[in-house]
Amino acid sequence: MSTSKPIVIVGGGVIGLATGWTLARAGREVVVFDRGEAGRGTSWLAAGMLAPDAEIGFEEEELYHLSRESLRRWPAFVASLEDEGAQQVDYRTDGTLIVADDRDSAVTLRRLYTFQQEQGLAVDWLTGAEALEIEPFLAPRLAAAVFSSGDHQVDNRRLIGALREAFLRQGGTLHEQTGIRALVPDERRPAVIAEAGARVDAGVVIVAAGVWSRQLEGLEETARPAVRPVKGQMIELRMEAPFGLRHVVRGPQAYLAPKSDGRLLVGATNEEMGFDTRVTAGGLFRLLEGAWEVVPGIYDLPVADTWAGLRPGSRDHAPLLGHAAPGIVLATGHYRHGILLAPVTAQEIALLVLTGETSPWLKPFSPLRFSVHPSIPSPT
Find the binder of ligand GLY among 268, 298, 325, 353 (CB under 6 A).
268
Does 158 bind ligand GLY (CB under 6 A)? Our answer is: no
Rounded CA separation 380/378 (Å) = 6
Rounded CA separation 127/71 (Å) = 28
Residue 330: what are its φ and ψ, rounded to 5°?
-100, 140
Residues between 286 and 325 with contacts to ligand GLY, criterion CB under 6 A: 311
Measured from the CB of residue 49, what is the shortest distance to ligand GLY in angstroms? 5
CB atoms within 10 A of CB 255: 24
Find the binder of ligand GLY among 152, 214, 224, 336 (CB under 6 A).
336
**What is the C-alpha radius of gyration for the chain, rounded to an integer number of angstroms?**
21
Name which of 6 and 52 has its Cβ closer to ligand GLY. Answer: 52
Does 128 bind ligand GLY (CB under 6 A)? Our answer is: no
Asked whether the beta carbons of 228 and 211 are under 8 A apart, the reply is: yes
Residue 323 DSSP one-character state = E
Name which of 49 and 191 has its Cβ closer to ligand GLY. Answer: 49
Does 98 bind ligand GLY (CB under 6 A)? Our answer is: no
Rounded CA separation 260/155 (Å) = 8
Measured from the CB of residue 264, what is the shortest distance to ligand GLY in angstroms? 15
In three-state secondary structure terms, 311 is strand
Residue type, 227: V
Measured from the CB of residue 267, what is the shortest distance to ligand GLY in angstroms? 5
Name which of 85 and 313 has its Cβ closer to ligand GLY. Answer: 313
Does 47 bind ligand GLY (CB under 6 A)? Our answer is: yes
Residue type, 230: V
Nearest Cα neighbor of 187 from 323, 343, 35 is 323
Name which of 242 and 282 has its Cβ closer to ligand GLY. Answer: 282
Measured from the CB of residue 90, what is the shortest distance to ligand GLY in angstroms? 16
In three-state secondary structure terms, 135 is coil
Name which of 95 and 267 has its Cβ closer to ligand GLY. Answer: 267
Name which of 71 and 219 has its Cβ closer to ligand GLY. Answer: 71
Name which of 223 and 248 has its Cβ closer to ligand GLY. Answer: 248
Rounded CA separation 337/333 (Å) = 9
Find the binder of ligand GLY among 9, 49, 301, 353 (CB under 6 A).
49
Measured from the CB of residue 232, what is the shortest distance to ligand GLY in angstroms? 5
Does 232 bind ligand GLY (CB under 6 A)? Our answer is: yes
Bridge partners (DSSP) listed for residue 215: none
Q: What is the contact mask toward ligand GLY in residues 238 to 267, using x (rule: CB under 6 A)?
A: -----------------------------x
Sort 277 into a burial class: Cβ within 10 Å, 0-12 / 13-18 / 19+.
middle
Report the greatest alpha carbon distance in the chain: 64
Q: Which residues bind ligand GLY (CB under 6 A)?
A: 47, 49, 232, 267-268, 311, 336
